[in-house]
Structure 1
Amino acid sequence: MSEQQDHVSKSSSSSISTSTQESEEEVSVTIGSLLAQARNDKGHSLGRRLLHLGSVPHHPRVNGEIPNVDNATLDHERLLERLGTYGLAEFQIEGDGNCQFRALADQIFRNPEYHKQVRKAVMKQLKEFRKRYEGYVPMEYKVYLKKMKRSGEWGDHLTLQAAADRFGAKICLLTSFRDTCLIEIVPRDLTPTRELWLSFWCEVHYNSLYATDGERLFCLDLLIW
């Protein structure tokens, strides 16, 4: 076989391999999305449960300072108390720097391992609609995008807004803030078609939020199938 034929053969094999990998990822995401849609009413039930709480308008921003140990401990205790008061439970998300995207992936696809796909979708939103978001970033926008693109980079309130816009979802945060229990992030120019519920141990960690009725276990059983 000539060098040119060999090169064409390798190029063709690489193309097929890449195409197959992308197809498998698309199928996986589609299956996860369908399973999540089957349980979409869950978010509305949580919304009814917390209907009496006044939500605070969301203002996109980058991450603030991480609280010191004492304040972080008090914040966490406050969050746990709120979870117990409203009959809610956290699905614990890995603290590897991807927790916001993992928690969103769990809510959307019932699988936190889709966090890479969620981050990719959020980054696409931030790039395509730059004028919508760049005013909230206190640095050069390209630098911010390059930084946020990296796996392990902490998501912020701007990526939450971009996720709400991209997925057409209202994102509800039960927080550990002293004066702010519930924050709602709504998509711009869209009527939300779903609700995503996260707990937010402020400036420290995100978890995926559910009612304490074993529903998450049912979804895991479906995913094993």
Structure 2
Amino acid sequence: MRILPGEQTKYQANSQPATTPTHGIRRTPTTRSTSIVKCRDVLNGNRDGVLNKAANDVTRFTHRLRKDSNLEVKSMGADGNCLFRSVADQIYGDQEMHDQVRERCMNYMSQERDHFGPFVDEDFDQYIERKKRDRCFGNHLEIQAIGEIYNRPVIIYQWKDDDAVEEIKLFEGAVEGEDNPPIRLSYHDKNHYNSIIDPDNPSVGVGLGLPGLHPMGVEKEMLNYVAEESMNERIEHDMMKLTQMESEANETEDMMNEMILEQSMREAEERIMRESQIEYMNQMYQSRRT
């Protein structure tokens, strides 16, 4: 397990490797600490200043990463969920699914307590419950678990003071020979994660075990889906408009029929009145002659 610069947890060598998970995932042997310092999270810092230093370097970092590796930085929300947001963006293409990534991660760590437990200097169950909470920062232990869950290497990019980008691989992947693209994250000012995108090699969906899903086709499939939905909406809109026009036409026809009927009744009434008046005048004329 590779430790990010600045992490407070210290590991000391031990001849016994960590317990191998029962479901067969192979881990790079990690050492058991004899003087473990609690895995501390950035919980008490000034959240208003979480990105202050990162903001000063992000332009140079983004430019250097694009120039050297043709990778792009995708900013994540700075609300304490940034690690899980970044992973959700890498896996699902949607950072708002961070709660699902967090839940799956912590459930996995709970199941693998024999492996992760020795690296936590507090009651392990309390640690799991705390990390399940929204806005609770994640750290390198969660990154290790995430790599194992999705069977993908995890690479962290961070800015160095000598105008360079440092690349750290935290998890190598579990199955040799499988071309699983890495989960790429950037680490800023020791308290914020962003998602790193390779525009030439989309990797959304890798590690989900979805049959028939090809990451390179995700964007195309999504565009086709959007186009189909747009066409369906257009057809539905046109049908509704046609129905409305027909309804309005029927209402207009009914109004015209009523007007015609009313006019006809009025004309008939006037005709009857004229005929009655003529008949009355004839009767008067005949009576005078007699």
Question: TM-score under structure 1 normalisation?
Answer: 0.61
- 1:140 alignment counterpart: 123
1:184 aligns with 2:169: yes
- 1:100 alignment counterpart: 83
Once the two structures are superposed, what CA deviation does each residue of 1:51-86 show, in whole Å capped at 9, x if it has no partner? xxxxxx613853566698875566546633532432
Correspondent of 2:196 among 209, 213, 217? 209
Whether the 8 Å CA contact 1:172–1:197 is kept in 2: the answer is: yes
User: In the alignment, residue 168 of structure 2 is paired with which amino acid?
Assistant: I
Correspondent of 1:157 among 140, 153, 165? 140
| Corresponding residue SS for 1:107 | helix
Distance in 1 (alpha carbons) for counterparts of 2:76 and 2:167:
20
Which structure 2 segments of 5+ residues have no match?
10-38, 205-216, 226-290
- 1:200 alignment counterpart: 187
Q: How many residues align?
A: 168
1:174 aligns with 2:157: yes
Give me the CA root mean square deviation.
3.3
Larger RCO of the pair (alpha carbons < 8 Å, separation 6+): 1
1:58 aligns with 2:41: no
1:83 aligns with 2:27: no
- Per residue, is there more helix in 1 or in 2? 1
| Corresponding residue SS for 2:153 | strand
Alpha-carbon distance, 1:202 to partner: 3.7
Distance 1:160 1:111, change over 3 A: same
| Corresponding residue SS for 1:194 | coil
Whether the 8 Å CA contact 2:153–2:183 is kept in 1: the answer is: yes
Distance 1:200 1:105, change over 3 A: same
Distance 1:74 1:139, change over 3 A: farther
User: In the alignment, residue 102 of structure 1 is paired with which amino acid?
Assistant: R
Which structure 1 segments of 5+ residues have no match?
1-56
Whether the 8 Å CA contact 2:41–2:138 is kept in 1: the answer is: no
Q: Between Structure 1 and Structure 2, whose CA radius of gyration is higher?
A: 2
Alpha-carbon distance, 1:138 to partner: 2.5
| Corresponding residue SS for 2:157 | strand
- 2:106 alignment counterpart: 123
Whether the 8 Å CA contact 2:62–2:72 is kept in 1: the answer is: no
